[in-house]
Chains A and B, each alone.
Chain A
Amino acid sequence: MSDLLYVLLTLASFAGLAMLAGVIDRYLTDPDPEPDEPAAATATATATAEVTR
């Protein structure tokens, strides 16, 4: 009985990990909702442009 429980625990854990790989893959391949520019970089670039102007 204990053996079966540990086998099931192992299978469930690996199934969860395999699903996580699928979730990450979908997350990475979805079209970008917004540019990958970090907020701080955008803000600094804008501020620099204003000072230059």
Chain B
Amino acid sequence: MSETAAAFGQFAVLVVALVLVVPPLGRFLAHLYTSEKHLAVERGTYRLLRLDPDADQHWRVYALSVLGFSLVGILFLEAFGRLQQHLPLDIGMSALPADGAWNTAVSFVTNTNWQWYSGEAATGHLFQMAGLAVQNFVSAAVGMSVAAAFARSLARSRAGGRVGNFWADLVRTVVRVLLPGAVVGALLLVAAGVVQNFAAPRLVTTLDGGSQAITGGPVASQEVIKELGTNGGGFYNANSAHPFENPTALTNILEIFLILVLPFAMAWAFGHIVKDRRQGAAVVSVMALLLTTSIALMTWAEMAGHGTAPQLAGGAMEGKEVRFGEAASALFGAATTGTSTGAVNAMHDSFTAAGGGLAMFNMMLGEVAPGGVGSGLYGMLMLAVVTVFLSGLMVGRTPEYLGKKIGQREMVLVAAYVLATPVLVLVGIATAITANAGLAGLQESGSHGLSEALYAVTSAANNNGSAFGGLTSGTPFWNTLLGLLMLFGRFLPLILVLGLAGRFAAARTLPAGAGTLPTHRPLFVVLLTGVAIVLVGLTFVPVLALGPIAEALL
């Protein structure tokens, strides 16, 4: 089979699988986030933790619950990393350094999963399972909970700023969605060849007589939630390029499916929650349009064989796994940066300049195509508010979205949301390239060196977590800078989203009138796509011009 046929074939398989699974899963999620009934295991959890799952929380209480839960998670995980050598299943690993433990804690609690370390050389099994994997579940559940709260707020009228109960959303998401999904997915991965054991590193003699330590471990169980929760942190340093994490083309397409299924399903659930399925379909359409465009462009960039070396070698295979090839690497690359996953099955540093630039552009769009579990939906809904506002200005109508009037205060929150991440990225890159400690981490100089640093700060501030490669980030400077970017890149937008949710929940829902812009029609899909690209993406054109664009043209 030719590589082109394989590219179309795997894309077709992915689309069919998503079309079959997303609608029923979306309906299930909508029911989950609107039902008042609790399962027995959930009631037991609430009793144990002394929580009232039926309290309808004001948005501020909801936000403080998110912050408090995440703060405890960071402090716990940081201590865990510092003390792992004293705990069981440490397999001989020593304590993480203070800056590294903090960076790792922030990274996994913020659903970023940026990894400055090599998993197989720095972390024991217990830390991976009871520390990192737990945060893979709950950080994903936090994002989904906030998105559900935002969707519910649009379906409420004069609810006094109350958006639901964070603890109920969190526990339900873990118990009813992520845990069952992870069990099924892990079994599928194990069946397809991903390793799952508690083995200590095994020393083997290589063909040339050298010695190599082969690390096994609970890989499949971490691999599945890494993808399903759009987390991205690999058990191994090579992430999904490692044959123990992603051994075949079948596991590769399964992992890409796991990355995309929940973000799309959340958008579909949105339509059910606001009781207008067309709204969910419109959001899914915009996400699919952006993602498909990204996949097509990235696949073309990697397969076109630009440059002397790829032409002589018959393909741009540097940094890619032979068992996947260019198309499957590009598809994975587009999926992982279109969402907030950050897992990689190839080294993005070795992508063509255009391919690497597209990966960065995906993240710069705010990861809304389809975005992280939860963060993709609320990011897209914030852009939808911008779109109805701009459209309202163009035709002279008071803008409204799903019956909620968009006034000055709503737009202040949305503007702050849109600006927050770009400010973090641009301040971050400015800091990195003006500090000696920042420059010391770069492997390359010139445009490619800038791309290495730009990719890192973009990945951190957007909570993606994928690494371009080439950057030595395990230093106090980079660990602290990227940790701060991850922390504020997660929680600053999240607070603004919940603030707007409270505002919407408190407002009266107006009936649609003759001047209401329909937000389910193709015209709105096109407008929203344009706003996502122009408003957010173009913010970064100057710095992209100095990095990947300059490199592509030179």
Please name all residues of chain A whose beta carbon is closer than 8 Å to the beta carbon of B408 when the two chains form the complex. 34, 36, 38
The contact of A36 among B78, B396, B407, B488, by CB within 8 Å, is: B407
The contact of B495 among A13, A17, A40, A48, by CB within 8 Å, is: A17
Write the nearest CB–CB distance from A5 to chain B, whole angstroms: 8
Interface readout for A1-18 with B: 1 if CB under 8 Å, 0 if not?
A: 011011101110110011
A28-B409 contact in complex given A6-B102, A21-B499, A41-B392, C-beta closer than 8 Å = yes
Whether B64 pairs with A27 at a CB distance below 8 angstroms is no
Please name all residues of chain B whose beta carbon is closer than 8 Å to the beta carbon of A6 when the two chains form the complex. 78, 98-99, 101-102
Whether B63 pairs with A48 at a CB distance below 8 angstroms is no
Whether B499 pairs with A28 at a CB distance below 8 angstroms is yes
Interface readout for B399-431 with A: 1 if CB under 8 Å, 0 if not?
A: 100000101111011000000000000000000
Whether A22 pairs with B60 at a CB distance below 8 angstroms is yes
Please name all residues of chain B whose beta carbon is closer than 8 Å to the beta carbon of A45 when the two chains form the complex. 396
Q: Does B17 contact A (CB under 8 A)?
A: no
Q: Does B71 contact A (CB under 8 A)?
A: yes
Please name all residues of chain A whose beta carbon is closer than 8 Å to the beta carbon of B495 when the two chains form the complex. 17, 20-21, 24
Please name all residues of chain B whose beta carbon is closer than 8 Å to the beta carbon of A38 when the two chains form the complex. 389, 392-393, 398-399, 407-408
Whether B98 pairs with A3 at a CB distance below 8 angstroms is yes
Q: Does B82 contact A (CB under 8 A)?
A: yes
Whether A21 pairs with B64 at a CB distance below 8 angstroms is yes
Please name all residues of chain B whose beta carbon is closer than 8 Å to the beta carbon of A9 when the two chains form the complex. 102, 480, 484
Nearest to A4 among chain B residues (CB) is: B98
Whether A14 pairs with B67 at a CB distance below 8 angstroms is yes
Q: How many angstroms between the C-alpha atoms of A25 and B160 in the bound complex?
A: 12
The contact of A25 among B60, B97, B392, by CB within 8 Å, is: B60
Q: How many angstroms between the C-alpha atoms of A46 and B495 in the bound complex?
A: 37
Write the nearest CB–CB distance from A46 to chain B, whole angstroms: 10
Q: Does B492 contact A (CB under 8 A)?
A: yes
Within B460-491, the residues touching A (CB, 8 Å) are 480, 484, 487-488, 491
The contact of A7 among B75, B410, B480, by CB within 8 Å, is: B75
Nearest to B411 among chain A residues (CB) is: A38
Q: How many angstroms between the C-alpha atoms of A36 and B98 in the bound complex?
A: 49
Please name all residues of chain A whose beta carbon is closer than 8 Å to the beta carbon of B259 when the two chains form the complex. none
Q: How many angstroms between the C-alpha atoms of A37 and B98 in the bound complex?
A: 52
In the complex, 29 of the A-B residue pairs with CB atoms within 8 angstroms, ordered by the A residue number, are A3-B78, A5-B98, A7-B78, A9-B480, A10-B74, A13-B487, A13-B488, A14-B71, A17-B491, A17-B492, A18-B64, A18-B67, A20-B492, A21-B60, A21-B64, A21-B495, A24-B413, A25-B502, A27-B409, A28-B409, A28-B499, A28-B503, A28-B506, A36-B398, A36-B409, A38-B393, A41-B393, A43-B396, A45-B396
What 11 new A-B contacts, CB under 8 Å, besides A25-B59, A25-B499? A5-B98, A6-B78, A7-B75, A10-B106, A21-B60, A21-B495, A25-B60, A27-B412, A36-B398, A37-B398, A37-B407
- Pairs A-B, 10 closest by C-beta atoms: A36-B407, A44-B396, A2-B98, A6-B102, A24-B499, A40-B393, A21-B63, A14-B71, A25-B60, A3-B98
